[in-house]
Amino acid sequence: MAETVRVKTMMPPGHVRTPAYLRGKCGVIERKLGEFANPERAAYGLKKEMQPLVRVRFSMGEIWGAAAENPTDTLEAEIYTHWLEKVI
């Protein structure tokens, strides 16, 4: 059973790699990609900190709502897990 997650809606200033248009949107974890250096620290020259990265699959209907031309088409984005919350 695919795990459903929601991208956090927070908008901190500074360098983050989580696309703004996906904040608050729900998707399923398509695969786990392993651990990568957190860009939010690397961008400021801070000590390296590894974070798990996953690929999340969203439906166009979820992202664009009624404006989606093909709501069942999907989009995948690679997102660090500290940006994701579980959806029960």
Partner 1 sequence: MGGQQTDAKLPEDHDFALWEKRVDALMVLCSTKGYFTVDGLRRAVEDMSEDAFDTMSYYERWVAAVNQNMIEADAYSLAELGERMELIKARGATYGEATAYKEATDG
Q: Which residues bind partner 1 (CB under 8 A)?
A: 14-15, 20-21, 37, 39, 42-45
Nearer to partner 1, 9 or 72 (CB): 9
| Closer CB to partner 1, 24 or 87, in the complex | 24
> Which of left, alpha, beta for 30 (phi over 0: left; psi -120 to 50: alpha)?
alpha
Residue 44 beta carbon to partner 1: minimum distance, rounded to whole angstroms? 7
Q: Which is nearer to partner 1, 24 or 31 (CB)?
A: 24
Q: Please count the other Cβ atoms lying within 10 Å of the Cβ belonging to residue 28.
A: 16
Distance CA 43, CA 28 (A): 28
